[in-house]
Structure 1
Amino acid sequence: MKFNPKLAIVYAAATLATSAFALTPAEHSAEKDRISAEYKAAKEQCKALKGNAKDVCEEQAKGVEKVSSAELKYKVEPNEKNQYAVAKAKADADYGVAKEKCDDFSGNSKDVCQKDAKSAHVKALESAKVSEVRKDPSSKPGDIANARKDANEKTMEADYKAAKQRCDPLSGDAKDACIADAKRRFGQ
C-alpha cells in the first residue's frame, strides 16, 4: 500500500476537528456547574417579583436550564436523538412559559390562551419530529412524507381546538357559523 500524504492530512484534520469539539470530563463538569449556577441566579432574581410574574420568571429559568442541559448532552454526543431532545426541550420550555402567562387571564380568554399555547407546542414538537426523520440516514422518502402528514394532522387538530375555543363566548347562529368556519379551515 502506498502512503498518500494528502489522505494523511485529511485524516489528521478530521481527527483534530472531532476532538476539538469533544468536551473533557472536567469541561463537562464545569458546564454542568455553570448551568446550575445560572439557574440558581435566575431563580434568585425571581424572588423579587410577585404573583404570576414570579411564576412566569421561575418557569423561564426552569426552561433555560432544561434547554442548556439538553444542549450540553448534544455537545457530548451529537446525534439525531440528542438533537431532537434539544428541540423538544425548547418546545417544552416555551409551552411551560406560555401556559404560565395564561394565568393572567380568566374565563374563556384563559382557555383560548391555553389552547393557543398547546397549538404552538404541538407545532414545535411535530416540526422537530419531521426534522429528526429527515436527518435520519436510514429514512426513506415515504417515511418523511408520512412524518409530514402526521405532523400536519396533529397541527391542524390543535389549531382547530384553539379556533373552536374562540367560538365559545358566542351563542346561537354566530357560534354555529364560527364552529363551521373552524371545521372548514382546519379540515375537521
Structure 2
Amino acid sequence: MNKLSINVIAIALGLAFSAGSMAEGISKTAYQTGKDKITTDYKADKAGCESLSGNKNDICVEEAKGKERVANAELEARYKPSRETRYEVSVAKAEATYAVAKERCDDMAGNTKDVCVKEAEAAQVTAKADAKAQMKTGEANATANEKTSEARTKASGESAEARKDAAADKRDAEYTVAKERCDAFAGGAKDECMETAKAQFGKL
C-alpha cells in the first residue's frame, strides 16, 4: 500500500459518487434473491480457502468477508437508493480493502510490518474521508438547489468545510505513516527524519 494506492482509492470513490441521479429501487423479491445469492457465494468463497494454510488462509477469508460486506452494501443501495446507502457502499469497500491489506502485512516483520499497517490505516482513513466529503457535498448541493441565495451560500460553505475536514484527516493519516517510517532509524537520523515529517505535514 502506498500513496498511489491511496489516490487510486480516492479517485474510485469520486467516480462512484459522481454517478447520475438515483435509480428506482429494486423489488423486495429481487432484494431477497440477492441476499440469498450473496450468502451462497460467501460460503463457496470461504470453503475455497480451506485448502490454504497460515496467513494465505487468513487473507483468503478476509477477502471472502470483504466481498460479502461490499455485496450486501451494494444490494442495499440498489434496494433503497440514496446518498447514505451509496456512502455505505464506499465505507464497506474501504473497510474490506483495509482488512485484507492489514492481513497481508502479517507476512512482514518489524518496522516494515508497522509501516505496512499504518499505510493500510491511512488508505482507509483517506477513502472514508473522501466518501464523507462527497456525501456532504452532495447534500449541500441538493439543499442549495432548493433554497434561497443565502441558503446556497451557506450550503457552499458546508461543502467547503467537509472538503477541508477530509483533507485534514488525510494529512494526519499520512503523517502517522511518515512517523512510523522514522522508527526504522536511530539517534540523529531518526530525529532528522521526524523533523522532516513534521515540516512536511505542518506539525512544527
TM-score computed with the length of structure 1 as normaliser: 0.87
1:1-188 matches, within 5 Å, as 21-136=24-139, 137-138=142-143, 140-188=155-203
Q: CA deviation at 1:96?
A: 0.5
> Aligned residues, how many?
169
Q: Which amino acid is 1:28 matched to?
A: Y
Identical amino acids, percent of aligned pairs: 43
Cα distance in 2 between the residues matched to 1:119 and 1:163: 11
| Matched-pair contact (CA < 8 Å) for 1:156–1:187 | no
Q: CA deviation at 1:135?
A: 1.1
Structure 2 segments unaligned to the other structure (5+ residues)? 1-22, 145-154
SS at match of 2:115: helix
| Matched-pair contact (CA < 8 Å) for 2:129–2:170 | yes
1:3 corresponds to which residue? none
**Could you give the per-residue CA deviations for residues 33-88 of structure 1, whole angstroms, max 9, x where no partner exists?**
11111111110111111100110010011001010000000001110110110000
TM-score computed with the length of structure 2 as normaliser: 0.80
* Structure 1 residue runs of 4 or more that deviate by more than 4 Å after TM superposition: none
Q: CA deviation at 1:24?
A: 2.3
RMSD: 1.1
Q: CA deviation at 1:100?
A: 0.7
| Matched-pair contact (CA < 8 Å) for 2:28–2:79 | no
Cα distance in 2 between the residues matched to 1:54 and 1:161: 29
Q: CA deviation at 1:23?
A: 2.2
